[in-house]
């Protein structure tokens, strides 16, 4: 399967006078009703709503600064036609920002190094791995599952979500895998960029799902199919499918679209689920030497981790978030902190993410929990977007 890189970056800082724009009176108004500035939140504008058939040479100009903003085009259905234009506005507290749709010429566009990246990784069995400028994750595919079932060394049987602890803003996925394959390095040692020393096993890792029946939890196996949707300066997203699985007699149908945007420590899981009314999203408790905390709309597990500390979290909007539970087991990797989330119209949307103290992104767990409060507030009070 080929990966389509469907991104378009417009020259940030390009002044209005340099644009070869056609007359376009369409203005995007983004309103912020909270008492805090809003940044690193992605606004999606569909071609249909913009009433533009071809988005290829379309840009957005900030009407206050007269400067073009960075945008990315997304082909949602892999038909070669761009369906969305996305961007990240900056909107002051209790304020609004306005952006005009403009038509650009070819010389007013430049390609840009990818910030949000994901891909299938056949050279390491069959991982699917994704990252942005803050965090990195991976999940495991059908070949890794079959190796375990056939007693072949090197396989992984888990639908848990693994995390890579990065401490640089540039992409590391290709670099780390290449060093691994070439035998010139290992991503299990930190040489200044970070490392993979987070154990998942059959646990839920950071954001894997389960279904609770009675006193037990039931899991799917590895993903069975994948499709990359987009990579670029602002977003990477992809879809995963799973074979139907048995949760103590309930047959569960599961697929999801996973999205990670620039500047975010959380990856979004938009899960389509049939067969159950509630799922449980887990955080592995590892050696059970940490502290579980919760507040309105979020669950957090803070723990010592090698020579540092890590906080892993689940956040969901109030329409989905129900209760939490700390589940302890004597069986290795089955101890998880769970957020029980309601299924609404066969869908659950939640966010899973983490802070590794050694990355320097947050001072400590207290600062991270303040971020969780703010993140929860924002997803329950989304930006209001009007097209005029």
Q: Which residue pairs from 301-310 have beta carbons closer than 8 angstroms and sit at least 24 positions apart in sequence? A: 301/337, 302/365, 302/368, 305/197, 305/198, 305/356, 306/197, 307/358, 308/356, 308/357, 308/358, 309/356, 309/357, 309/364, 309/365, 310/165, 310/198, 310/354, 310/355, 310/356, 310/357
Of 199, 190, 188, nearest to 163 by C-alpha is 199
pLDDT digits (tens, 9 = 90+) for 150-187: 999 999 999 999 999 999 999 999 999 999 889 888 89
- Mean pLDDT, residues 233-244 taken together: 98
What H or E segment, with its residue span, contains residue 142? helix 142-149
* Domain spanning 9-111, CATH architecture: Sandwich (2.60)
The pTM of the full predicted model, rounded to 2 decimals, is 0.93
Question: What's the confidence (pLDDT) of residue 216?
Answer: 96
Question: What's the confidence (pLDDT) of residue 10?
Answer: 37
pLDDT class of 25 with cuts at 50, 70, 90:
confident
Is 285 a residue whose pLDDT tops 70? yes
Is 217 a residue whose pLDDT tops 80? yes
- Mean pLDDT, residues 298-306 taken together: 97
Q: Is 110 exposed, middle or buried (0-12, 13-18, 19+ CB in 10 A)?
A: exposed
Enumerate the domain spans of the chain: 9-111, 117-380
Domain boundaries 117-380, CATH class: mainly beta
Average pLDDT taken over every residue of the chain: 93
CA distance 32 to 25: 22
Percent of the chain with pLDDT over 70: 93
pLDDT digits (tens, 9 = 90+) for 85-107: 999 999 999 999 999 999 988 77
- Residue pair 147/95 in contact by the 8 Å Cβ criterion: no
């Amino acid at each position: 399967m080929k990966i389509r890189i469907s991104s378009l970056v417009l020259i940030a800082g390009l002044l209005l006078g340099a644009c070869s724009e056609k007359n376009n009176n369409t203005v995007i108004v983004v309103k912020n009703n909270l008492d805090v500035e809003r940044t690193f939140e992605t606004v999606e504008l569909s071609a249909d709503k913009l009433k533009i058939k071809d988005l290829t040479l379309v840009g957005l100009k900030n009407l206050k600064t007269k400067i073009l903003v960075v945008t990315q085009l997304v082909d949602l259905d892999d038909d070669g036609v761009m369906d969305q234009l996305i961007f990240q506005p900056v909107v002051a507290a209790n304020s609004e920002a306005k952006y005009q749709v403009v038509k650009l010429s070819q010389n007013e566009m430049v390609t840009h190094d990818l910030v949000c990246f994901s891909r299938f990784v056949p050279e390491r069995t069959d991982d699917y791995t994704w990252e942005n400028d803050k965090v990195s994750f991976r999940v495991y595919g059908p070949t890794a599952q079959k190796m375990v079932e056939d007693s072949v060394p090197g396989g992984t049987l888990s639908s848990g979500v693994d995390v890579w602890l990065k401490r640089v803003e540039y992409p590391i996925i290709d670099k780390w895998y290449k060093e691994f394959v070439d035998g010139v390095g290992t991503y299990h040692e930190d040489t200044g960029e970070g490392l993979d020393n987070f154990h998942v096993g059959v646990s839920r890792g950071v954001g894997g799902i389960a279904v609770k029946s009675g006193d037990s939890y039931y899991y799917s196996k590895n993903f069975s199919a994948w499709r990359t949707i987009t990579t670029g300066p602002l977003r990477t997203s992809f879809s995963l499918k799973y074979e139907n699985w048995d949760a103590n007699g309930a047959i569960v149908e599961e697929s999801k679209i996973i999205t990670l945007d620039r500047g975010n420590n959380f990856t979004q899981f938009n899960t389509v689920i049939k067969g159950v009314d509630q799922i449980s999203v887990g955080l592995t408790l590892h050696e059970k030497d940490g502290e579980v905390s919760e507040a309105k709309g979020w669950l957090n597990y803070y723990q010592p981790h090698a020579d540092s500390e890590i906080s892993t979290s689940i956040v969901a909007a109030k329409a989905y978030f129900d209760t939490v539970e700390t589940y302890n087991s004597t069986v290795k990797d089955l101890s998880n902190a769970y957020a029980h989330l309601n299924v609404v119209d066969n869908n659950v949307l939640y966010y899973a993410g983490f802070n590794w103290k050694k990355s320097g992104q947050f001072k400590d767990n207290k600062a991270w929990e303040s971020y969780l409060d703010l993140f929860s507030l924002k997803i329950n009070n989304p930006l209001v977007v009007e097209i005029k």
